[in-house]
Amino acid sequence: MKTLARPLIIVGAIVIIIGALLPWATFVLNDGAYPDKASLEFFDAPFGLSSFRLYLEILGLAALVFAFVPLHDRVRVLKSVGWGAAGIAVINTLFIIGDGGGLGAVTAADGHSAFGGLAAVVGAALVLVGVYQLPKQRLAVIKPRLPFWAEWLVLVVAFVAMLFLITETLTAGGHSGVSDPYIGPLFLSYLCAAGALLGVLYAFGVTKWISDLSERHRIFSIVVLVLCAVAVPLTSVGNDYWMTITANIGVYAATAIGLNIVVGLAGLLDLGYVAFMGIGAFVAANLSGAVAAEFGIRLPFLLAAIIAGIVAGLFGAVVGSPTLRVRGDYLAIVTLAFGEIFVRVSQNNIGGLTGGSNAIPNIPDLTLFGAAFNDPLTIGGIQLPGGVLYYFLIVLLVALVMFVFGNLKNSRIGRAWIAIREDEDVARAMGVKTGKLKILAFMTGATTAGLAGAVFAHKLATASYDSFQFNWSVTLLAAVILGGMGTIPGAVLGAALLTVLPEELRQFQNYRLLVFGLALVVIMRFRPQGLIADRHRRAELADEDVTGESLDDTAIKGSVAVAGVKEAGA
């Protein structure tokens, strides 16, 4: 540790702790003080803190402890803590300066911002300056071998903790709607705190260990994940508003996993993917018995969804055929043209099948044993919110898509797709039938999107072109890249973030897209492999390989091994 690094970190941590205790605002917002009594009081009781000030207090204490405790990877730990504290301090300070009504509405000279926010910002800056003077260290790798029952217990605890983290993130510290004026900064503060926690766990090697355990006990992990998903309506998210949001997350997650087959595995850039979801939605709507449907027949939902998936898959084969001769940017233009044809041309020319600009409204609700899927449900005296049956249906859909994707990725077809993604010419030279496999990738992804579209149409009770515009193709592609190409958890996480962020950031109004875009730019700059990286991309884009060793060390070991083989052969 360099001379000034430790003192800067210690001083910064102390300043963060003091800043969390000091008042943050010299005025009253709306009917009460800025959240958590951050008004003209000089000190609050340390154990009486909550929300963003509690996060800062914890991060400040963590920085102070980690500055003294010997760690295998002190740099990454303190970086996570420092950036988390900096994000919380800056976000809430700017919100107070803006008088709670939007960023930049009032200047700090008006006296609305007290010393707490300034102290926290300075403290976080000192911690970061000290951290970046530390020498780089190798990532810690935890590889304990436990009995199978102990590893199962660890997985259960990890997934339950993840469920708690997700539900608390959705409700932004207890708020369950978008009308609360503080939900924007509180949600972003919670994201910063959660990101700091995950960064610390990553630096200690815990996340890598949990990932290895889940891979080793894949079936058990899937079962526990499904049970956790089923338990979501029993948590703080269990209300009508969040049931709708979580159901949409599930639909977009299933669609993003299908797109991950095309983009993440086969490496084919598709900018019109949401059109396949629209095809599935309109086919299912026409077979639903809706009054405005063209055919006027009503098939069982399962049969209608299967037909919708097959039709979407056939269109996927049609769109995938030109991929035999084009690639890269030219392929993106072809798929973009298909998406625009679906939205703009078909709306006017096949209006009888799709309802045109009038859409296909009043799609009959699904029922199960006489219970409508959109109605509240009571089981054993427990009142579940409206739409919970649609949520359970979407959970089953996501589980099915995850199962198919996982098996495809580890099959000969999946390995051939990965070979095409890495270098199509080399793959063809090695005997891979690239043309057929690329069409198969489009068909598989389109079929998945068609199934998701069928569920989506029944959930909304309408099938409209407005739900399948080009911006949704871009959003799904961003979800795949943001979460991590070629990974199931990455697609689910990306879809969840890109669905929840616009909802939670409505309070910032015109600044919402700015914050959203900046977040994407920052993640792509510092985590180009995605939040949950595939093994291959992690080795390609990160400065460590999958074992935690630096790539330089791995290259040296490889050279030594090759030299040893040559010497043995001689």
Average pLDDT, the chain: 78
In a domain, 526, yes or no: no
Q: What's the rounded mean pLDDT across residues 497-526?
A: 73
Q: Give the bridge partners for 32, in sequence order.
A: 29
> What 3-state class would DSSP assign to 269?
coil
Residues 244 and 171 in one domain: no
In a domain, 281, yes or no: yes
In a domain, 410, yes or no: yes
Residues 278 and 187 in one domain: no
Our measurement of the distance from residue 159's CA atom to the centroid of its chain's CA atoms, rounded to an integer in Å, reads 16
Question: DSSP states of 359-372 as a string?
Answer: -B--PPPPEETTEE
Residues 470 and 354 in one domain: yes
> What 3-state class would DSSP assign to 312?
helix
Residues 421 and 372 in one domain: yes
Q: What is the pLDDT of residues 238-256, one digit of tens each?
A: 677 888 888 888 899 999 9
- Proportion of the chain above pLDDT 70, given as a percent: 78
Whether the per-residue pLDDT at 498 is higher than 50: the answer is yes
Gap between the Cα atoms of 245 and 241, Å rounded:
7
* Segment among 58-67, 134-143, 298-307, 382-391 with least mean pLDDT: 134-143
In a domain, 549, yes or no: no
Residues 242 and 387 in one domain: yes
Rounded to two decimals, the pTM is 0.79
- The CATH number of the domain holding residue 499 is 1.10.3470
Residues 383 and 376: beta-carbon distance below 8 Å: yes
Whether the per-residue pLDDT at 282 is higher than 80: the answer is yes
In a domain, 426, yes or no: yes
Residues 268 and 143 in one domain: no
Q: Could you give the number of structural domains in the chain? A: 2
Q: What is the pLDDT of residues 3-37, one digit of tens each?
A: 788 899 999 999 999 888 887 776 544 444 444 44
Whether the per-residue pLDDT at 341 is higher than 60: the answer is yes
Q: What's the rounded mean pLDDT across residues 141-145?
A: 72
Question: DSSP states of 160-215 as a string?
Answer: HHHHHHHHHHHHTTT--SS--TTHHHHHHHHHHHHHHHHHHHHHTTHHHHHHHHHH
Domain boundary among 476, 495, 511: 511
Q: What's the rounded mean pLDDT across residues 264-273?
A: 86
Domain boundary among 461, 477, 511: 511
- Proportion of the chain above pLDDT 90, given as a percent: 16
In a domain, 558, yes or no: no
Residues 384 and 252 in one domain: yes
**pLDDT band at residue 59 under the 50/70/90 scheme:** very high
**pLDDT band at residue 468 under the 50/70/90 scheme:** confident
In a domain, 471, yes or no: yes
Residues 169 and 285 in one domain: no
**pLDDT band at residue 312 under the 50/70/90 scheme:** very high
Whether the per-residue pLDDT at 367 is higher than 70: the answer is yes
- Closest by Cα among 267, 361, 279, 275 to 323: 267
Domain containing 286 equals: 238-511
Residues 334 and 380 in one domain: yes
- Closest by Cα among 341, 347, 378 to 360: 347
Please give the pLDDT value at position 207: 83
Whether the per-residue pLDDT at 476 is higher than 70: the answer is yes
Whether the per-residue pLDDT at 409 is higher than 60: the answer is yes
Domain boundary among 184, 206, 228: 206
Whether the per-residue pLDDT at 308 is higher than 60: the answer is yes
Q: How many CB atoms lie within 10 A of CB 291?
A: 10
Please give the pLDDT value at position 469: 83
Our measurement of the distance from residue 433's CA atom to the centroid of its chain's CA atoms, rounded to an integer in Å, reads 33
Whether the per-residue pLDDT at 512 is higher than 70: the answer is no
Whether the per-residue pLDDT at 425 is higher than 50: the answer is yes
Residues 247 and 186 in one domain: no
* Segment among 102-106, 158-162, 270-274, 434-438 with least mean pLDDT: 102-106
Q: What's the rounded mean pLDDT across residues 353-366?
A: 78
- Closest by Cα among 443, 464, 444 to 453: 464
Whether the per-residue pLDDT at 200 is higher than 50: the answer is yes
Please give the pLDDT value at position 562: 33
Please give the pLDDT value at position 350: 67
Q: What's the rounded mean pLDDT across residues 535-548?
A: 55
Whether the per-residue pLDDT at 457 is higher than 50: the answer is yes
Residues 430 and 362 in one domain: yes
**pLDDT band at residue 556 under the 50/70/90 scheme:** very low
In a domain, 408, yes or no: yes
Residues 307 and 419 in one domain: yes
Q: What are the structure tokens assigned to 245, written together?
A: 């949001």
**pLDDT band at residue 537 under the 50/70/90 scheme:** low
